[in-house]
Amino acid sequence: MSEKIYPGFDIGGTKIGIGLISESGKFIAGERIDNVNTKPEDILPRLVTIVKKMIAENNISTDDIPAFGVSTPGPADIPNGIITAPPNNPYWRNVPLLKYLEDNLEIKGYFENDANAAAIAEGYFGAGKGTKDYIYLTMSTGIGAGIVTNGTLVQGTGFYGGEFGHTILHRNGRQCNCGLKGCYEAYCGGRAVADDLRRKLADKTESRIMQIAGSAENIDMKALAQAVRENDPFALEYWDEMIQNNAQAMGSLINIMNPAKLILGTFVWATGDLFLAPLKKYIVNYAWKEMLDQCDIVPSQLRQDIGYYAGSAVALYNTEKNA
Ligand SMILES: [Zn+2]
């Protein structure tokens, strides 16, 4: 009997990843296409063409494809498979992506937000393998959580569960894009950190961060991390404060869920111990020792390839759940 194959789509703000992954996690095919200012009427038929071509080129019988999956950024209507209003693309408004793909591929499809999809992907194919209680944090432009408890994804009554980036760390604190003030994401999300650094370094050309970035508009988490490695005093202090904010948020999450693993995405796997070592030092102030002892805090294993696995994992997870 041949392995079942799960096509996956990862809808990102700048790229769309399309992957064919087997149930055991074998990477069969993958392609990334640009998604900057695209129009759905152009891109949707391309997604169908690409995945059909991948299926044909790899001699896969449609009998061996139980379902496909989609990983999407918010805001989205998850149960109905509709992308409502992605932040970076004015042309995508209320796009019924799931139905379009189901109709044109004639395969059953499933839809999930990107943090949840990444969490399931790490669970099947990455750092979460073998554990039934774990949490994935996206740690990218924004911060989102995919929470898996006793093998089940926490979705909540309206499928908003896991918006942990909008937990308030500081009462009346920094304004967040979501409308609230003092959110975790407003202090530790990639976009918010870059904006804050730009404000603080506006005319400080002598700053190492500014020199590394080249210009204010290129300031990002990467430039900050590099300045920390070079022992820039401002960067060291900023990083330390940011890590303490992360420790506070993550400690609360560990106290609530008692996970066996906390898996950290993008800028944590990119910075490694620069982030993890101080985090582990500070987090003892925010979570019970018993639960910290039971929780491995680790970087994502799928790293930049997670997009290829995320959609497929959504398909695999829902197919198993509905079996
Ligand atoms: Zn917020």
Topology alike, domains 5-121+305-321 and 130-301: yes
Ligand 1 mean position to 179 CA, how many Å? 6
Sorting pLDDT into bands at 50, 70 and 90, what band is 289?
Answer: very high
* Residues 201-233: tens digit of each pLDDT: 987 878 899 999 999 999 999 999 999 999 999
Ligand 1 mean position to 185 CA, how many Å? 6
Ligand 1 mean position to 177 CA, how many Å? 6
Residues 306-322 have a mean pLDDT of 95
Ligand 1 mean position to 178 CA, how many Å? 4
The mean predicted confidence, pLDDT, of the chain is 95
Ligand 1 mean position to 171 CA, how many Å? 12
Ligand 1 mean position to 37 CA, how many Å? 25
* Residues 72-108: tens digit of each pLDDT: 987 889 999 999 987 677 888 999 999 999 999 999 9
- Listed by start position, the domains of the chain span 5-121+305-321, 130-301
Sorting pLDDT into bands at 50, 70 and 90, what band is 170?
Answer: very high
Ligand 1 mean position to 230 CA, how many Å? 31
Ligand 1 mean position to 196 CA, how many Å? 15
Ligand 1 mean position to 231 CA, how many Å? 31
**Among residues 74, 97, 90, which one has the least CA distance to residue 158?**
74
Ligand 1 mean position to 142 CA, how many Å? 9
Question: What is the model's pLDDT at position 247?
Answer: 98
Question: What is the model's pLDDT at position 74?
Answer: 78
Ligand 1 mean position to 174 CA, how many Å? 9
CATH 3.30.420.40 fits 130-301, yes or no: yes
Say whether pLDDT at 311 is over 90: yes
Packed helices 273-282 and 221-229: angle between N→C axes, nearest 10 degrees:
80
Predicted TM-score (pTM) of the model is 0.94
Which region among 73-82, 114-123, 232-241 has the lowest average model confidence (pLDDT)?
73-82
Residues with CB in 5 Å of ion ligand 1: 166, 176, 178, 180, 183
Ligand 1 mean position to 192 CA, how many Å? 10
Say whether pLDDT at 45 is over 70: yes
**Among residues 144, 141, 142, which one has the least CA distance to residue 119?**
144
Ligand 1 mean position to 141 CA, how many Å? 13
Residues 10-38 have a mean pLDDT of 93
Number of neighbours of residue 64 by Cβ within 10 angstroms: 15
Question: What is the model's pLDDT at position 187?
Answer: 98
Ligand 1 mean position to 117 CA, how many Å? 21
Distance between CA atoms of 5 and 77, rounded to whole angstroms?
Answer: 26
**Among residues 256, 306, 255, 261, which one has the least CA distance to residue 285?**
255
Task: Please give the CATH topology (third level) of the domain spanning 5-121+305-321.
Answer: Nucleotidyltransferase; domain 5 (3.30.420)
Distance between CA atoms of 58 and 9, rounded to whole angstroms?
Answer: 18
Sorting pLDDT into bands at 50, 70 and 90, what band is 1?
Answer: low
Sorting pLDDT into bands at 50, 70 and 90, what band is 12?
Answer: confident
**Kind plus residue range of the DSSP H or E element containing 252:** helix 233-257
